[in-house]
Amino acid sequence: MKLIINGKEENIAENELSLSKLLTLKDVKFPQMVSVQLNGEFVKTDLYESKILKENDNVEFLYFMGGGR
C-alpha cells in the first residue's frame, strides 16, 4: 500500500493497517510522543487503533519539541 508519510511516498508491505500499527512500524514507541494528522485532520490518540489507513493516505507525524534554551 502506498502512503505519503511526512511528505514522502512510501510503500508499506501490509494492505490492512491501523494508524497505531503504522506508529509501531515507524518506531514511535509511545503514541503520546506525536500528534498525527491524517489527510489534514488531527486524529485523537484514542482513535489510533481503530483508524484503518487507505491507499494514498497522507500521514503527518508532528513531534513534540520542548527545547528552547
- 50 interacts with another protein by CB under 8 A: no
Q: Quick one: 7 or 11, whose CB is closer to another protein?
A: 7
| Cβ 19 to another protein shortest distance, Å | 16
Report the site for another protein in 19-48 (rule: CB under 8 A).
Answer: 30, 32-33, 35, 37, 40-42, 44
How many C-alpha atoms does 34 have within 13 Å on its Cβ side? 23
How far apart, in whole angstroms, are the C-alpha atoms of residue 17 and residue 57?
11
Give me the residues paired with residue 52 across strands.
Answer: 18
- 13 interacts with another protein by CB under 8 A: no
- The residue whose grid cell reads 491524517 is 38
